[in-house]
Amino acid sequence: MKRLSLLVLAASGFGAMPLVAADDGVWRDCRTCHVVESPGGEVLARGGRSGPNLYGIAGAPIAGDGNFRFYTDDLRAAGATGARWNESNFVAYMSDPDQFLQEVTNNPDAEGGMHVQLRSGARDVFEFLQSLSE
């Protein structure tokens, strides 16, 4: 299994604030839309804001980021089932988001709105996100 390598950059001087970023092509794809930012506002992995913050995703309810307003109705329906993100369903979602939602919601037309499929490396991404949220 390929391990994500982490690059830790610490600012020197007054109030050094560490920034952790994935030095790996897998996070490069994720960061186009997602950031990992702690509840205190510390950016742990830089990224965009068009997708939800992925801080604390391990064990969190599906479509559970209350600050993100753009979940699809189908992703919200999956969340309404009480499902929570775990390694297994995260990997299934990343492999084929629409198929995952179709199975969870029993809606053959369900769509997730995410336009990336990650056929390999999703476990590494989940472990990386989990490590940033501990």
Residues 7-47 have pLDDT tens digits of: 332 332 333 333 444 445 668 889 999 999 999 999 999 99
Q: What are phi and psi of 24, to 5 degrees?
A: -155, 145
CATH class entry, domain 6-132: mainly alpha
CB 104 within 8 A of CB 86: no
CA 28-102-33 angle, to 5 degrees, is: 20
Question: What are the Cα distances from residue 31, in Å, to 45, 50, 78, 80, 102?
Answer: 8, 10, 23, 26, 25
Q: What is the pLDDT of residues 37-61, one digit of tens each?
A: 999 999 999 999 999 999 999 999 9
Q: Do you know the residue count of the chain?
A: 134
Confidence class of residue 114 from pLDDT cuts 50, 70 and 90?
Answer: confident
| Domain residue spans of the chain | 6-132
More confident of the two residues 11 and 93: 93
Confidence class of residue 72 from pLDDT cuts 50, 70 and 90?
Answer: very high
Q: Residue 25: its pLDDT value, please?
A: 65
Question: Count of H helices and E strands in the chain?
Answer: 5, 4
Q: Residue 24: its pLDDT value, please?
A: 57
Q: What percent of the chain has pLDDT over 70?
A: 81
Q: How far apart are CA 79 and CA 112, in angstroms?
A: 12
Specify the pTM. Answer: 0.80
DSSP codes joined into one string, 9-56? E---STT---EEEE-SHHHHHHTTT--EE-TTS-EEE---SSS---TT
Average pLDDT over residues 101-118: 92
